[in-house]
């Protein structure tokens, strides 16, 4: 229940309120994809952009670039050239070039950074990856912080995905 109260002084017309397109509980544009953030039904970049949050969630997308500074909104690069090893941008399509359709994956020091970053592995550009971590804001856009595990998906064949996946799990 959301309630508003306004007491008009002398003109009763001031007591009229109108709210259009008010959505409570999800950010505008969030769709129910049926994904639950599990390893078998990971969230997509669109799910995260729609307002999904949580810890220990799996998110899947194509590596499309990186952010060259702390604000991906103004520093997104859709190339591996000149990349740093601190983050990657992922999207639902491998050809994405619009940062508003991307999420950032922060890469902490260690195995995840060593394997995913575009500076050391420019061949990762365009690869589909699934990462496990905390969904929040990173590089001033929605994304995944502190990933603890990841998998590369080499093709759309599910059997090949299970057979060839590289999984790295880290513990504190």
Distance (Å, whole) CA 111 – CA 148: 9
pLDDT of residue 137: 97
Kindly tell me if the per-residue pLDDT of 15 is higher than 70. Answer: no
In this structure, are residues 80 and 157 in contact, taking their beta carbons and an 8 Å threshold? Answer: no
Contacts of 152 (CB under 8 A, 6+ apart): 127, 128, 129, 164, 165, 166
pLDDT of residue 81: 97
Q: Mind listing the pLDDT tens digit for each residue in 72-112?
A: 999 999 999 999 999 999 999 999 999 999 999 999 999 99
Instruction: Give the global pTM.
Output: 0.74
pLDDT of residue 153: 87
| Residue length of the chain | 172
Q: β-strand 54-67 against 43-44: which pairing, if any?
A: parallel
Please say whether the dihedral angle defined by the alpha carbons of residues 107, 112, 114 and 118, taken in this order, is positive or negative: negative
């Amino acid at each position: 229940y959301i309630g508003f109260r306004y007491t008009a002084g002398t003109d009763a017309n001031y007591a009229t309120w109108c709210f259009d397109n008010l959505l409570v509980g999800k950010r505008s544009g969030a769709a129910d994809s049926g994904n639950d953030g599990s390893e078998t039904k990971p969230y997509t970049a669109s799910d995260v952009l729609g307002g999904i949050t949580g810890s220990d969630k799996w998110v899947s997308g194509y590596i499309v670039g990186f952010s060259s500074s702390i604000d991906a909104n103004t520093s997104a690069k859709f190339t591996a050239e000149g990349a740093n090893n601190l983050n990657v941008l992922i999207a639902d399509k491998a050809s994405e070039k619009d940062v508003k359709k991307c999420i950032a994956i922060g890469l902490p020091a260690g195995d995840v950074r060593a394997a995913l970053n575009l500076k050391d592995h420019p061949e990762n550009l365009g690869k589909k990856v699934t990462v496990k971590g905390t969904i929040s804001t990173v590089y001033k856009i929605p994304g995944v912080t502190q990933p603890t595990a990841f998998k590369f998906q080499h093709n759309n064949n599910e059997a090949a995905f299970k057979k060839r996946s590289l999984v790295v799990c880290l513990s504190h």
